[in-house]
């Protein structure tokens, strides 16, 4: 299934405009990467616009936690507590930006976009 992100030919009134050209390859999008909690980390590297590379994190096991003293620690993820994007995501163990995960140090809020950046970064919210 294609994800078209070009003009949908709609006028502000709701009417349709006539198409003056066909669809273009650079107007295609891609499905969202739903990063899930797993026993291993898996990344997918894609070529994107301009020949650039985008790393998508498909499954995650660890999170880089920024501590109050300025240091960063790589910590194991135990569970997904809450995901503000969709309440069902915490049930399916899907991690996105703003998700709160349970780790060995305590609760951590995710600050990176794993489907865009290919890495999980977070800040410690509550110590255990």
Q: Does 2 score more than 90 pLDDT?
A: no
**What is the reported pTM?**
0.82
Identify the CA nearest to 61 among candidates 24, 93, 105: 93
Q: Using CA atoms, how far apart are residues 10 and 17, in angstroms rounded to an integer?
A: 6
What are the boundaries of each domain within the chain? 35-127
pLDDT for the residue 65: 96
| pLDDT tens, position by position, 21-67 | 888 888 888 898 999 999 989 999 999 889 999 999 999 999 999 99
| pLDDT tens, position by position, 97-118 | 999 999 999 999 999 999 999 9
pLDDT for the residue 1: 62
Q: CA angle 92-89-57, nearest 5°?
A: 85
Residue 116 and residue 122 in contact, taking contact as beta carbons nearer than 8 Å: no
Give the CA radius of gyration of the chain: 19
First to last CA, the chain: 44
pLDDT for the residue 83: 93
pLDDT for the residue 53: 94
CATH class of the structural domain 35-127: alpha beta
- The first and second tokens of residue 26, run together, are 């650079």
The DSSP line for 42-90 is EEEEEE-GGG-EEEEEEEESEEEEE-TTS-EEEEEEEEEEE-TT-HHHH
């Amino acid at each position: 299934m294609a994800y078209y992100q070009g003009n949908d030919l709609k006028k502000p009134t709701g009417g349709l405009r006539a198409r003056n050209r066909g669809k273009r390859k650079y107007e295609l999008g891609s499905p969202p990467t739903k990063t899930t909690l797993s026993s291993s980390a898996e990344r997918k590297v894609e070529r994107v616009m301009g020949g650039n590379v985008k790393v998508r994190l498909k499954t995650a096991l660890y999170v880089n936690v920024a501590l109050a003293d300025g240091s960063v620690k790589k910590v194991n993820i135990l569970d997904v507590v809450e995901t503000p994007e969709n309440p069902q995501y915490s049930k399916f163990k899907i991690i996105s930006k703003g998700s709160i995960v349970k780790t060995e140090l305590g609760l951590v809020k995710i600050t990176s976009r794993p489907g865009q950046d290919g890495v999980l970064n977070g800040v410690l919210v509550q110590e255990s």
